[in-house]
Structure 1
Amino acid sequence: MPDIDFSKDEKAALVRKIQLYFNEELGQQIGQFDAEFLIDFVSRELGAYYYNRGLQDAQATLAAKLDDVQDAIYQLELPTEFRK
């Protein structure tokens, strides 16, 4: 799995979300450095699980769409002595 790199704006948004979560749910303040450290940890240690689930979801979606295409092609077939 490639490293997950967020843009400066994306990382800032993630930091704000973590800080808000810590404040509202845990009643604790967390600084920017600590929030960025937590993001890096989660990305490094847990990111592969989310990445793989995303790939599985994409694969399932693609398989369903391919089934739809196969059905549409089958419906276009004209009857012959091989298919009635």
Structure 2
Amino acid sequence: MSSQSMLSQQQLQQLAPELQAYLATQLNLEVGQFDAQFLLDFVAARIGRQIYNKALDDAQQALSSRMESLQAAIWELEK
């Protein structure tokens, strides 16, 4: 695994058994711990930034909506 991993070694170790179980049940594919960690690292490196940026965008939209609601409530109090 690269030193530029998006996931920590602890995260890889925690997620690998879940990936192994998924691959075994859904694809009837047995992979070892190292291979599962390597695949997780690869996928995280390829799509992790997009997922992170989407989550930030969703949070920003939720916050903006909440701020608009608060502003409307303040305007109501000013009347």
**Coarse TM-score class (shorter-chain normalised):** 0.7 to 0.9
TM-score of the superposed pair, with normalisation by structure 1: 0.80
TM-score of the superposed pair, with normalisation by structure 2: 0.84
Pairwise CA RMSD:
1.5
Higher RCO, 1 vs 2 (CA within 8 Å, ≥6 residues apart): 2
Q: Structure 2 regions of 5+ residues with no counterpart? A: none
The structure whose Rg is larger is 1
Offset, 1:56: 1.1
Matched-pair identity in %:
36
Q: Structure 1 regions of 5+ residues with no counterpart? A: 79-84
Consecutive aligned runs of 4 or more in structure 1 exceeding 3 Å deviation: none
Q: How many residues align?
A: 75
Match of 1:50 in 2: 51
Q: Name which of 4, 7, 14 aligns with 2:6.
A: 4
